[in-house]
Amino acid sequence: MIDIGIVGGTGYTGTELLRLLAQHPTAKVRVLTSRQEAGKRADSLFPALRGFCDAVFEVPDPARLAQCQAVFFATPHGTAMQMAPALLAQGVKVIDLSADFRLQDPAVYTQWYAHPHTALDALKEAAYGIPELHRDKIAAARLTAGPGCYPTAVQLALAPLLEAGVIETRGIIADCKSGVSGAGREAKIGSLFCEVAESFKAYGVPGHRHLPEIQQGLAWAAQAPVGITFVPHLVPMNRGIHATVYARLKQPGIDLHKLFAERYADEPFVDVLAKGEHPETRGVRGGNVCRLSPHLAPDGETVVVLSVIDNLVKGAAGQAVQCFNLMFGQPETAALQSPGFAP
Amino acid sequence: MIDIGIVGGTGYTGTELLRLLAQHPTAKVRVLTSRQEAGKRADSLFPALRGFCDAVFEVPDPARLAQCQAVFFATPHGTAMQMAPALLAQGVKVIDLSADFRLQDPAVYTQWYAHPHTALDALKEAAYGIPELHRDKIAAARLTAGPGCYPTAVQLALAPLLEAGVIETRGIIADCKSGVSGAGREAKIGSLFCEVAESFKAYGVPGHRHLPEIQQGLAWAAQAPVGITFVPHLVPMNRGIHATVYARLKQPGIDLHKLFAERYADEPFVDVLAKGEHPETRGVRGGNVCRLSPHLAPDGETVVVLSVIDNLVKGAAGQAVQCFNLMFGQPETAALQSPGFAP
Amino acid sequence: MIDIGIVGGTGYTGTELLRLLAQHPTAKVRVLTSRQEAGKRADSLFPALRGFCDAVFEVPDPARLAQCQAVFFATPHGTAMQMAPALLAQGVKVIDLSADFRLQDPAVYTQWYAHPHTALDALKEAAYGIPELHRDKIAAARLTAGPGCYPTAVQLALAPLLEAGVIETRGIIADCKSGVSGAGREAKIGSLFCEVAESFKAYGVPGHRHLPEIQQGLAWAAQAPVGITFVPHLVPMNRGIHATVYARLKQPGIDLHKLFAERYADEPFVDVLAKGEHPETRGVRGGNVCRLSPHLAPDGETVVVLSVIDNLVKGAAGQAVQCFNLMFGQPETAALQSPGFAP
Amino acid sequence: MIDIGIVGGTGYTGTELLRLLAQHPTAKVRVLTSRQEAGKRADSLFPALRGFCDAVFEVPDPARLAQCQAVFFATPHGTAMQMAPALLAQGVKVIDLSADFRLQDPAVYTQWYAHPHTALDALKEAAYGIPELHRDKIAAARLTAGPGCYPTAVQLALAPLLEAGVIETRGIIADCKSGVSGAGREAKIGSLFCEVAESFKAYGVPGHRHLPEIQQGLAWAAQAPVGITFVPHLVPMNRGIHATVYARLKQPGIDLHKLFAERYADEPFVDVLAKGEHPETRGVRGGNVCRLSPHLAPDGETVVVLSVIDNLVKGAAGQAVQCFNLMFGQPETAALQSPGFAP
């Protein structure tokens, strides 16, 4: 069994990691840290885990973590960059679910996260953890940056079009909608039930931290800068991201469905719907899958790609486990093969 | 008191009409029809009306309706076009909340609604019922077509930009999200709680009946054809529409906030937020208001307009009462002056 | 116009007071306090009020409040008992929506609220603010204690039975369910959308602060001690309380419907349904009404009373305005006559 | 592999059976019937199954079903009683999730389901499918009746108390709350999102079909008739049942927690919480578990048992699979060992 440590397991991403890893055939969580909940069983915070998880929160102890073979960070930004270098130096592989290693340019990091990056060497070697786009690099990495939830949905929606060079690379629109778990398990007024239920709103139109990450990833796919407007919205539901992505075709006549089906033909976790269908977020709830449906709008020149994921699974913990599997030579689908969950 | 008839009052639009008209100082519902519920009190179907509405459903009887001064149609499409001409001939004014008189070109109507238009004379004289865009015509009309909910939110978002000629008229995107009451009070699987709750999806990407109506209205505002892609989405909430509209500025340097604030300065039912703010649908719940917020995206060339309405009020029954007030020389705000309702 | 002050207007009860008072024909909010939000407009926190409320939060100033004729407290417990005596001494009438003046025995108060009562004279004169049970006392009072939301629903459900002496006074069960706004607008994990949505739970089974208040009120109605078990539950919705109350008939043959209908025949805000019907919380949403339906269970000896209110209206702000109207000789229904709101 | 047939797989119970059986190590769905959806893939109706279920709906054909070793009925009442006898005669074991074989007295069946029972021999041999109460009988059965969802939650809550004889057997109250999936996947107005969301109500107070089933099961546990009042309520959520059960202790001093913990000590699917805790329905979402918490009310004589299940799993499909496992000598937990799912 591969010994796993999780730093910061009290949020929704952390509990989802525990849920998935509880079913992993060759890995086991040995260390689970939380300064605040130290001494409590994980299943006392998350009763859905009762019977499936014995882990007890403990104060983070570098020595204990260094005994693991892999450490996941499910912490706010700023923590992983402090602790990862020492772990790497001791031979521990790291999968960071925070933002610390997503942006390769430290200046861009500082601009959006308002503090300097303090682990520049680690940053240089970090793989960007979308296996469908960077599988080989992840498999060879000691450190993987788990992508943001919105960036995952948007990049998988646009990669086939940008790689094939069939759309204009300016004026792309990513209108994205997320369930509330994307805001984390923090006590703040804006995430209260009564502030969110029976309402819908956009936020962050003037700028959102996932924008530079999306731009970076699309530029890799297009091998050129890409101009995109990204607007996130909050949906009154627990889980799910729906990205509706608009781009202009360079020329008519592309078989969009074929392009997507072929691009993702061998991917176990990308599912291209039949022509004309519309995915629902509940169809991927609990599953590690991105479901895509490309459409040509009635104007004959606008491509509309519908892309749905569960933000906590393919958008966070599931994709992190997928990367872990690659980094440790395990079957990529280990612990990730159970059906979604609806209603 | 002005005597009012309502044809088809058993849906969500009909009950909202009853709620609003119950508070109208100079109008009273005298005839309320429903073939299926004839004999029942309206408040037995809609207990929220208990104590505020004595109306009893009756089988539709043209003679009874002709005794009213105004008749609202809250019916599926196809009914108003059959009954309106005779009512108009007898001096009754008509406000139709269905789609029958929205599209001025009967061929376009037939293309989207799959049956011929049978009231061509009435269609010619129908005013299009967004007072902020067509007030004089509505005030002079005998017949007003209540606009669709999506078209209301989108047209109010784009009119200032198109009238001022500051955006490109091709490649506009209207990414729209609606609560479930927009689908009506019909027993269908797709509107069941368990099919909708905890999920989010797009629908109608290949084509939706509100597209030609939006195109028609935008062309009026731009005085030229407008190219727009419209994608509706379903939000797990009862009420509310959020339109996120994207367009490209012809040239930089426009003061978007000033443009919107001035355009709607005298409008009691359009509310432009302060710069940088984001409206929420719950902020307009129950109120007859369209709340707008124009933004310039980080790319400096994409305008993003956020537009929210309550689909049953400003998107249907409230706007219909607003038109009624204009058609009968009443204060435009009569029955429409109560605050929204949150949480 | 009667000048009104509101202390602590940033919660859901406070904003509901603002919504209702915005429509009051003879009263106006002159002073609105919040230490934390001082300087902000109320409608910047609660956009649903935009256009209907000019009030600006200010730091609480006893001199400013003393210029009002009535002061409402929408504060956590402990504040009103500190400020009310001085206001009363200056001729200001007080309606307290917190728990400070609900329990007439200060020892019981201390037992449940963990601090001594410091305004014993005021406590002695306080009227208990359910007008249907204590109208004359409220009309004559300088100080009224707004009851808890659960106690309102339960007392109105049981009063007819206890006053008539037709049920056993031991072994009564009040199984109560509340929307999340009952937990207030505080940033706490347990009220987050993702902790509440798609779930249902009981809480406070070992003891809840509303139990002694319910016991006190039922004892007044029965003129004897009453034994009751009270279990509150949390429902994933914004508003509404549903109390399901069970009691045993002393002897068969009571016409329950008649008993309730006659008891509340002249009450504008208690609505007894027809025999065999079941109320829904959405039917009273936004309205100041308690809707009741008494049933005899199939066993022929258990009475089941269904009682619904909007916890923020008849359970808090609406009932407070009703008391205010009585205390100032205004029509009892002023500002409270608008239909509920569904869907 | 054990070959399985499912009759009527288009409802929420049917799709849940497909989800669970997709993970069964020793069973496989070979025949899946639906007259209406014949020819369609199951995963086209339930996209969450994409990638995990190849089953295609077919018209029910007795010969095809007879080739299976086990047939599950997920049909409305009335169907299983017609088809089961022939299947049993051909050596097929049957697990019926409908009401047809739940009530052992055919006269009671007719009273509540309004048609005669036509499979009296089968009815006589049917085991009642709560393994924790009737394990041996189920293991030996050819035909098992899957219990109703409410009866499962209530019987597991009361069995320890009734078996031990520590509560009065008259005047028991079962106040039960269910998510909307309990109403099935039928197109009816009352189950629409807009009729259910943001509301809460009781229903069936004058009488509900699960009452006689509960009475029958409790009488078995008590070995005497039991008097109980059962009131179901509808919660605006997809899944979950919360039963709050009240009974009177015969004498004080019982250690309730110990009684429950010992009764269910060896049960893999009943989970007794620590003293003083309250279960949430989301904690058992997707899992085949009944989570229980017994409390003594402040009056010292009323027992309050909190009991939660996922109505589609332990309340239907999961418990049916548990019975299937027993009937076929498989490990009782096969296909039922995955953690619940929250948020």
Long-range contacts, stretch C290-293, CB < 8 angstroms, 24+ apart: C290/C132, C290/C152, C290/C153, C290/C156, C290/C314, C291/B47, C291/B50, C292/C156, C292/C157, C292/C260, C292/C264
pLDDT bracket for residue A338 (50, 70, 90): confident
Tell whether ipTM is more than 0.85.
yes
Q: Which residues of A touch D48 (CB under 8 A)?
A: 282-287, 339-342
Q: Does A298 touch chain D (CB under 8 A)?
A: no
Domain shared by C120 and C155, yes or no: no
Task: Answer whether C200 sits within 8 Å of D242, measured CB to CB.
Answer: yes
Domain shared by D63 and D200, yes or no: no
Q: Does A116 touch chain B (CB under 8 A)?
A: no
Q: Which member of A198, A227, A246 has the closest CB to residue B282?
A: A198
Interface with D, mutate which of B10, B188, B194 (most D CBs under 10 A): B194
Strand, helix or coil for residue D342: coil
A297 token code pair: 């709008």
| Separation CA A48–CA D260 (nearest Å) | 20
In a domain, A324, yes or no: no
Strand, helix or coil for residue C109: helix
Neighbouring subunits of A (3+ Cβ pairs under 8 A): B, C, D
Q: Does A51 touch chain D (CB under 8 A)?
A: yes
The alpha-carbon gap from A182 to the nearest alpha carbon of chain C, in Å, equals 10
| Separation CA D327–CA D135 (nearest Å) | 10
Q: Does C88 touch chain D (CB under 8 A)?
A: no
In a domain, B30, yes or no: yes
Give Cα C111 to chain centroid, integer Å.
Answer: 21
Q: Does D237 touch chain B (CB under 8 A)?
A: yes
| Separation CA A11–CA A76 (nearest Å) | 10
| Separation CA B335–CA B49 (nearest Å) | 15
Domain shared by D156 and D110, yes or no: no
Alpha helices (runs of H) in chain B, residue ranges in sequence order: 12-21, 42-45, 62-66, 80-89, 106-113, 120-125, 131-139, 149-164, 193-196, 210-222, 256-263, 318-327
Give every residue of chain B whose pLDDT is below 50, as ranges: none
| Preceding omega of A131 cis (within 30 degrees of 0) | no
Task: Answer whether D51 sits within 8 Å of A289, measured CB to CB.
Answer: yes
Neighbouring subunits of D (3+ Cβ pairs under 8 A): A, B, C
Task: Answer whether C207 sits within 8 Å of D343, measured CB to CB.
Answer: no
Phi and psi based region of residue B240 (left: phi greater than 0; alpha: psi -120 to 50; beta: remaining): left
The alpha-carbon gap from B200 to the nearest alpha carbon of chain D, in Å, equals 13
| Separation CA A311–CA A319 (nearest Å) | 10
Specify the amino acid at residue D311: N
Pairing of strands D27-33, D57-58: parallel
* Residue B68 falls in the annotated catalytic set: no
Domain shared by B105 and B182, yes or no: no
Give Cα C264 to chain centroid, integer Å.
Answer: 18
Q: Which residues of C touch B183 (CB under 8 A)?
A: none
Domain shared by C171 and C299, yes or no: yes
Torsion sign, CA atoms D258, D264, D268, D271: negative
Interface with C, mutate which of A192, A196, A201 (most C CBs under 10 A): A192
Give mean pLDDT, residues C250-262.
Answer: 96
**Backbone dihedral angles phi then psi of residue D59, each to the nearest 5 degrees:** -65, 135
In a domain, B278, yes or no: yes
**Interface C:D, Cβ pairs < 8 A:** 151
**Interface B:D, Cβ pairs < 8 A:** 58
Phi and psi based region of residue C91 (left: phi greater than 0; alpha: psi -120 to 50; beta: remaining): left
Query: What percent of chain A is predicted at pLDDT more than 70?
Result: 100
The residue from C88, C110, C125 where one domain ends is C125
Neighbouring subunits of C (3+ Cβ pairs under 8 A): A, B, D
Return residues 160-219 of C near B (CB < 8 Å).
181, 197-198
Interface with D, mutate which of A18, A21, A50, A237 (most D CBs under 10 A): A50
Task: Answer whether D185 sits within 8 Å of B189, measured CB to CB.
Answer: yes
Q: Are B318 and B21 in contact (CB under 8 A)?
A: no
C21 token code pair: 């008072």
Residue of chain D with shortest Cα separation from C238:
D198
Residues D290-301: pLDDT tens digits?
999 999 999 999
Q: Does C81 touch chain A (CB under 8 A)?
A: no
Q: Which residues of C touch D195 (CB under 8 A)?
A: 343
Selection from D334, D311, D339 nearest residue D323 by Cα: D334
Q: Are D236 and D178 in contact (CB under 8 A)?
A: no
Domain shared by C270 and C190, yes or no: yes
Q: Which residues of D touch A50 (CB under 8 A)?
A: 271, 283, 291
Q: Which residues of B touch C272 (CB under 8 A)?
A: none
Q: Does C236 touch chain B (CB under 8 A)?
A: no
HSE toward the beta carbon, residue C181, CA cutoff 13 A: 31
| Separation CA C342–CA D51 (nearest Å) | 40
Domain shared by D303 and D166, yes or no: yes
Domain shared by D47 and D158, yes or no: no
Q: Which residues of A touch D271 (CB under 8 A)?
A: 50-51
Residue of chain D with shortest Cα separation from C279:
D201
Q: Which member of B23, B49, B340 has the closest CB to residue C48?
A: B340
Task: Answer whether A49 sits within 8 Å of D343, measured CB to CB.
Answer: no
Strand, helix or coil for residue A32: strand
| Separation CA C155–CA C170 (nearest Å) | 15
| Separation CA A27–CA A43 (nearest Å) | 19
In a domain, A308, yes or no: yes
Q: If chain D, 343 residues long, is cut into consecutive pieces of 10 residues, what is the mean pLDDT of each piece?
A: 95 96 97 95 92 94 97 96 98 98 97 96 98 98 98 98 98 98 95 97 96 98 98 98 98 95 98 97 96 97 98 98 98 93 86
In a domain, A112, yes or no: yes
Q: Does B12 touch chain D (CB under 8 A)?
A: yes
Selection from B125, A46, A196 nearest residue C238 by Cα: A196
Give mean pLDDT, residues A281-287.
Answer: 96
Alpha helices (runs of H) in A41-188, residue ranges in sequence order: 42-45, 62-66, 80-89, 106-113, 120-125, 131-139, 149-164
Interface with C, mutate which of D177, D181, D200 (most C CBs under 10 A): D200
Name the residue range of residue A31's domain. 2-125
Task: Answer whether A304 sits within 8 Å of B280, measured CB to CB.
Answer: no
Q: Which residues of A touch D282 (CB under 8 A)?
A: 48
Domain shared by D162 and D291, yes or no: yes
Alpha helices (runs of H) in chain D, residue ranges in sequence order: 12-21, 42-45, 62-66, 80-89, 106-113, 120-125, 131-139, 149-164, 193-196, 210-222, 256-263, 318-327
Supply the DSSP symbol for B281. G
D298 token code pair: 């402040």
Domain containing residue D94: CATH number? 3.40.50.720
Give mean pLDDT, residues A284-302.
Answer: 97
Domain shared by B38 and B118, yes or no: yes
Q: Which member of B236, B246, B276 has the closest CB to residue A237?
A: B236
Domain containing residue D280: CATH number? 3.30.360.10
In a domain, B331, yes or no: no
Q: Does B40 touch chain C (CB under 8 A)?
A: no
In a domain, B88, yes or no: yes
pLDDT bracket for residue C339 (50, 70, 90): confident
Task: Answer whether D173 sits within 8 Å of C246, measured CB to CB.
Answer: yes
| Domains of chain B: total | 2
From first CA to last CA, the distance across chain B in angstroms is 34
Strand, helix or coil for residue A114: coil
Using alpha carbons, list the distances in angstroms from residue D57 to A283, D32, D40, D263.
19, 5, 6, 42
Supply the DSSP symbol for C126. P
Partnered with residue A167 across adjacent β-strands are A249
Domain shared by A56 and A172, yes or no: no
Crossing angle of the two packed helices B12-21 and B318-327, in degrees rounded to 10: 50
Task: Answer whether A297 sits within 8 Å of B236, measured CB to CB.
Answer: no
CB atoms near residue D337 (< 10 Å): 15
In a domain, C332, yes or no: no
Q: Which member of B185, B194, B195 has the closest CB to residue D194?
A: B185
Interface with D, mutate which of C194, C200, C246, C301 (most D CBs under 10 A): C200
| Separation CA A13–CA A10 (nearest Å) | 8
Domain shared by B262 and B153, yes or no: yes
Task: Answer whether A282 sits within 8 Å of B203, measured CB to CB.
Answer: no
